[in-house]
Structure 1
Amino acid sequence: MTRPDESRHTRLTRNLSELLQELRVAQAGVQILFAFLLTVAFMERFASAGSFAHGLHIVTVLLATCAAALLIAPAAWHRVLFRKRRREEIIRAANWCALGGLALLAASMTGTVLLIGIVVLGPGWGTAAIGAGVGFLFLALWFLLPLRIRKQ
């Protein structure tokens, strides 16, 4: 949103500051999730979970890794391009990184819930329904509802 009383430079500074603040929240979540996923592989019960659960675990770890890379990238860009008058480009790229990182974080969290469901409840339709429900929850709350509001 453009404020009538602020200069272009002030607006860009505010936009970048707001974006980096938003990313701090997502970064903390993905880092905690990543740490949890790293420990799962060393749990006794996980060893007997089966090849599907092991494959799902690797995919989920990779999703969390990619989410972390995308969510942390804007801070790195800002630091590398500091005082190079590239703030507008940083904001544009950071916005895409944030959206991509959030999508991958949602996929990773959904995969984590599915993985826990498989280990605790066993594979089956109930576990699949839980995973699908969680995936839909993220899709609806993080993307569909904001897009609907944006169109109004």
Structure 2
Amino acid sequence: MSRRDRESVSFHPTESSAGPEQSDAVDLDGRDQRERRETPTERLDRNWGDLIQELRVVQTGVQFLTGFLLTLPFQQQFGRLDSVDIDIYLTTICASIAATVFLQTPVSVHRALFRRHQRREAVALAHRMAVVGLLLLSVAITGVAALIFDVVVNRVSGVIAAVITVGTVAVLWVVVPLGVRGRPTNTSDI
């Protein structure tokens, strides 16, 4: 790999072009790049593969949720929803459809950038799309919880379900990962 190729795929402007063995750069996961002994291109390929695997897990769920929500207006009981429930439903279905689109965007990014040697751009854009998709999915999940508890029990239960869902998502999707991210890693365990 030429010096120019290594520089063009580097995530870190401070990384030397001599490769990861001679670099002081830190990988996206906070580890010294020398631990993995991978080139910047190999790291990008690994990051891309990791991202695609994560999206495979979440895409099935969001597609199932969206499909379920799309069938609700065709149910007989749907006509009994009040205007607040209709607003919750419409917000939820919009968030679910948007989450589906954002979480599938990395596939179109890959197609558009395929064989153009723009893996760094593909990984960065796909990462942003995945984060937005997860945010929209959290809105959709919250809306589903609110709507179900509102219709089945009452409005107060719907609000409580929404608050609990937001709290649970915030803790499990944000607080816990950031807490783990901040801890020092013992690489001998890996």
> What residue is the counterpart of 1:149 in the other structure?
180
Paired residues in the alignment total 151
- Asked if the contact 1:49–1:118 (Cα under 8 Å) also holds between the matched residues in 2, the reply is no
- Asked if the contact 2:70–2:93 (Cα under 8 Å) also holds between the matched residues in 1, the reply is yes
> What residue is the counterpart of 1:129 in the other structure?
160
* Bigger Rg, which one: 2
Identity of aligned residues (%): 34
> What residue is the counterpart of 1:42 in the other structure?
74
Deviation at residue 90 of structure 1 after TM alignment: 0.8
Which structure carries more helix by proportion?
1
Deviation at residue 63 of structure 1 after TM alignment: 0.4
Q: 1:48-81 deviations in whole A, cap 9, x for unaligned?
A: 0211111111110110111111110011101111
The structure showing larger relative contact order (alpha-carbon pairs under 8 Å, at least 6 residues apart) is 1
Letter aligned with residue 150 of structure 1: R
> What residue is the counterpart of 2:83 in the other structure?
51
TM-score scaled to structure 2, two decimals? 0.75
Gaps of 5+ in 1: none
Structure 1 Cα separation of the partners of residues 132 and 175 of structure 2? 15
> What residue is the counterpart of 1:22 in the other structure?
54
Q: Does 1:68 align with 2:118?
A: no
Letter aligned with residue 111 of structure 2: R
TM-score scaled to structure 1, two decimals? 0.93
Gaps of 5+ in 2: 1-28, 184-190
Deviation at residue 4 of structure 1 after TM alignment: 3.6
Deviation at residue 149 of structure 1 after TM alignment: 2.2
